[in-house]
Amino acid sequence: MDRRQFVAGLAALAAAPGRARGPARYPKPDREAMVAVEGGRIYVRVNGDLRGPKPPVVFLHGGPGGTHGAYLDALALADERAVILYDQLDSGRSDRPDDPGNWRVSRFVDELDTMARTLGVGRWHVVGHSWGGTVALEYGARRPDVLSSLILASPLISTRSWIADADMLRRELPADVREELIRCDALPAPQPVSCETATGAFYAAYNGREPAGEGHKAYRSQSGRGFNLKLYEAMWGRSEFVSTGSLKNYDGEPLLAKLDGARTLFVGGQYDEARPGTLAGFAARVPGAEWAVVPGAAHGIFTDRPDESVALLRGWMQRHDT
């Protein structure tokens, strides 16, 4: 099945009535560890056999400051390979030293090398979503030798491209919402409820179009301290439309030339705030790379359309299990 046929099949699945959105509960990890990295320890969970015949896959969560909980549906892949989920330092169940000196892109990339050594992984598939896509991009340029494949899912490749996309999508919202978002960018914190409402309208359109399933709710209620807003604001800022943190001048676009295109997949949602056209443009700059769109999904492709996203990754990794 070629990629065009595969994506067409996803579209048919998305249109099917009565589609379940994830299980009522998710499996417990087969293995858990607190892995020592620079600055503290990170929480790692594994499902499946790390010594199995197929390379494992590791998922890098978004944020900065998010958690592994958004990728629980990927545990379905553990029927054929080990699935590694983890929380970056200062997020979720990992240690929270809250030291801004740790909040460097290169240190987050180093976490992957340390994790691989600790788990005894010599080669793996790497899936980075959103800010996790930034870390995966940097890792892919640094360590192409250990990659079975690299999947950049709705990635932050450069701050200027991200903000350009956000500005374009903001213009597609109703005039009153658009004007309120522009007004709120200039207001100091705490902002009025009207700003929260307008931001919520943007997120509902482009960030997550489906409510969390019962399994996700149950897991997240036990998943530690969750999202770290302090880390997010320090590295990014308060708004999708203006970056004021340490990533405000981030530009990973030159790294695209260092990727192994034959093993690189760009993927995003149909309504993603990382716009499909932008992702296609990045893919075109990596000779041999592929890109795919998950029908019906916004930025949260794994929670909006879990079955389709998992099926896409399953097919891609099976083609690149070397």
pLDDT tens across the length of the chain (322 residues)? 233 333 333 333 333 333 446 788 899 999 999 999 999 999 999 999 999 999 999 999 999 999 999 999 999 999 999 999 999 999 999 999 999 999 999 999 999 999 999 999 999 999 999 999 999 999 999 999 999 999 999 999 999 999 999 999 999 999 999 999 999 998 988 889 999 999 999 999 999 999 888 888 888 877 667 899 999 999 999 889 999 999 999 999 999 999 999 999 999 999 999 999 999 999 999 999 999 999 999 999 999 999 999 999 999 999 999 8
Among 145, 144, 141, residue whose Cα is nearest residue 155 = 141
3-state secondary structure (DSSP) of residue 27: coil
Compute how many other C-beta atoms are within 10 angstroms of the C-beta atom of residue 211. Answer: 11
CA–CA dist 222, 27 (Å, integer): 14
Work out the widest C-alpha separation in the chain, in whole angstroms: 55
Omega of the bond prior to 190 within 30 degrees of 0, cis? yes
> What is the pTM assigned to this prediction?
0.92
Q: What is the DSSP pairing of strand 124-129 with strand 83-86?
A: unpaired
pLDDT value, residue 21 = 65
CA distances from 148 to 122, 127, 162, 320 (A): 10, 11, 27, 6
CA–CA dist 30, 81 (Å, integer): 13
C-beta of residue 73 within 8 angstroms of C-beta of residue 239 = no
CA–CA dist 111, 107 (Å, integer): 7
Domains and CATH numbers, the chain: 3-168+214-319 (3.40.50.1820)
pLDDT value, residue 3 = 32
Element (H, E) at 125: strand 124-129
Q: For residue 285, what are the contacts with CB-CB under 8 A and spacing of at least 6? A: 253, 256, 257
pLDDT value, residue 180 = 96
pLDDT value, residue 224 = 65
**Which pair of structure tokens corresponds to residue 239?**
């708004």
CA–CA dist 268, 308 (Å, integer): 12
pLDDT value, residue 173 = 97
Rounded to 5 degrees, what are φ and ψ at 35?
-95, 125
CA–CA dist 208, 170 (Å, integer): 15
Omega of the bond prior to 64 within 30 degrees of 0, cis? yes
pLDDT value, residue 4 = 33
